[in-house]
Amino acid sequence: MKERNISKANTAGSATGWGASGRRSGWLNAGCCALTVLALCLSGCATDETSKQVTLKGAFRKDFSIGVAVNQRQFTGQDTNGVAIIMSQFNSVSPENVLKWESVHPRPGTNGYDFAAADAFVAFGEKYHMLIVGHTLAWHGQTPRWVFQDENGRPLQGTNAADRAMLLQRLHDHIMTVVGRYKGRIQIWDVVNEALNDGGNFNRTNLLRQRSPWVRILGPEFIVKAFEWAHAADPGAVLRYNDYSIENEPKRKRLIALIKMLQAQHVPVMAIGSQTHANLNWPSPGLEDAALTDIAKLGLPIHITELDVDASAAGQRNQGADVSQNALAAGGGVVDAANQRLADQYSSLFRVFLKHRKNIELVTFWGVTDQDSWRSSGNPLLFDREGKPKESFQDVIQTASKDPKKLLAD
């Protein structure tokens, strides 16, 4: 039963014709039996019969796929508790780290690849009939320094044509090799991650993140080429642009300007990934609703790609998911009544996601349990450190049974 084809024919509304759909037919088949078979024991947390039977993927089967980022201990089967939760609750997997450049391509040259962990991740996804996501091809983070240097360690310069050609060649080789290896097996790729500028007011001259060596050396060309090469390597894969805090207006406007520019050039960008590293106060339901409404106008499916809600006291000041900022913001213990506030924020967000269910194809959590999370001190996920479902889990499931028309009203 592998019907996870993402039909290009079924792309009404896509401005470029590259939109992706098909979730309600194929992707969710693996999840449909979840209502009857529940491998995870919810007893002790769930008192009523309904919540004992319902899983995340089952509850949202008519709305969107439900994914999770998995780590090495999970996809190698060492973390048996984690695997049980993944199998029972989710129908899509993203690799938390192992497909990033530093893991899969640590050294230069054709012998510089190391596919052992990524192969195990993909095999795990196939074993459990998951929709498999590849994360990520072109990002400034977790990319070795040599990528942006010549053989002697001299930093490549955007003003030097030979340097630019060298970096483009490396990007080309990386994408053709990695995407090509998993052709037909990884259904969705985060092709470009976090290329947008974060701060300040919107204007057309400050779209991209100047701190990224990709941007500094190549400018927007790396984005165009990355999508074109990924499409050439696997014409069947859904290609995403992925970023954080695109709910905030200046960054949302930058996203829309960038994607429109790509669409005008017929670049095969096929879905928008919104990381959604949230906290208890941000994004508000109104902001999330406005952002999804605006982004949907691009005519591309939206994927919520890295959902978590930081409940740490310090995390309430942080509205960015920049890896370094996030590490600084994570300390300080959780806020008072954290579980209740977390459950409220999660159910608010899911109400908005359900309101936009026509445009949202996939909602992925960034980690299985609070123990695994990159924002662990903020207890940001639906399963606690022992893997028990939290109040937030019950509340998220309950949003699924609400009348979609009333979702924002109560």
Residue 287's CB is within 10 A of a number of other CB atoms, namely 15
Contact residues for 246 (Cβ-Cβ < 8 A; gap 6+): 196, 252, 255, 272, 274, 291, 295
193 binds ligand XIL (CB under 6 A): yes
Question: Nearer to ligand XIL by C-beta: 120 or 400?
Answer: 120
Cβ 244 to ligand XIL, closest distance in Å?
A: 6
Rounded Cα distance, 26 and 74, in Å: 25
Structure tokens at 253: 């406007």
> Does the footprint of ligand XIL cover residue 217 (CB under 6 A)?
no
Alpha helix (H) residue ranges in 28-143: 29-32, 49-53, 56-59, 72-75, 80-89, 101-104, 116-127
Say whether residue 97 binds ligand XIL (CB under 6 A): yes
For ligand XIL, which is the closer residue by CB, 164 or 209? 209
Nearer to ligand XIL, 59 or 171 (CB): 171
Q: Per-residue contact track with ligand XIL, 368 to 407, x per CB under 6 A?
A: ------x---------------------------------
Q: Say how far apart CA 13 and CA 296 lie, in whole Å.
A: 10
Assess contact for 365 and 67: CB atoms under 8 A. yes
Tell me how far, at minimum, the Cβ of 276 lies from ligand XIL, in Å. Answer: 11
Query: What's the CA gap between 139 and 221, in Å, rounded?
Result: 14
In the complex, least distance from residue 182 CB atom to ligand XIL, rounded to whole angstroms: 18
188 binds ligand XIL (CB under 6 A): no
Q: How many residues bind ligand XIL (CB under 6 A)?
A: 8
Q: Which amino acid is at 289?
A: D
Residue nearest to ligand XIL (CB): 374
Query: Under the criterion CB under 6 A, does residue 276 sit at the interface with ligand XIL?
Result: no
DSSP 3-state assignment of 360? strand
Min CB(327)–ligand XIL separation in Å: 9
Contacts (CB under 6 A) with ligand XIL, residues 298-357? 306, 321, 323
Strands (E), 31-171: 65-70, 92-95, 131-138
Cα 260-263-267 angle, rounded to 5 deg: 135
**Residue 279 binds ligand XIL (CB under 6 A):** no
Binds ligand XIL (CB under 6 A): choice among 68, 88, 95, 96: 96
d(CA 9, CA 25): 13
**CB-wise, 346 or 365, nearer to ligand XIL?**
365
Q: Minimum distance between the CB of residue 54 and ligand XIL, rounded to whole angstroms?
A: 28
Q: What is the DSSP letter of 280?
A: S
Bridge partners, residue 132, by sequence? 93
- Provide the token pair at 259: 């994607």
Cis peptide before 136 (omega within 30 of 0): yes
**8 A C-beta contact, residue 287 and residue 319:** no
Q: Is 275 in the site for ligand XIL (CB under 6 A)?
A: yes
Whole-angstrom distance, CA of residue 66 vs CA of residue 50: 19
- Residue 211 or 266 with smaller CB distance to ligand XIL: 211
Residues with a catalytic annotation lie at 194, 306
Q: Least Å distance between CB 305 and ligand XIL?
A: 8
Minimum separation from the CB atom of position 376 to ligand XIL (A): 10
Peptide bond into 213 cis (omega under 30): no
Closest to ligand XIL by CB, 123 or 323: 323
Nearer to ligand XIL, 241 or 393 (CB): 241
Chain contacts with ligand XIL (rule: CB under 6 A): 96-97, 193, 275, 306, 321, 323, 374
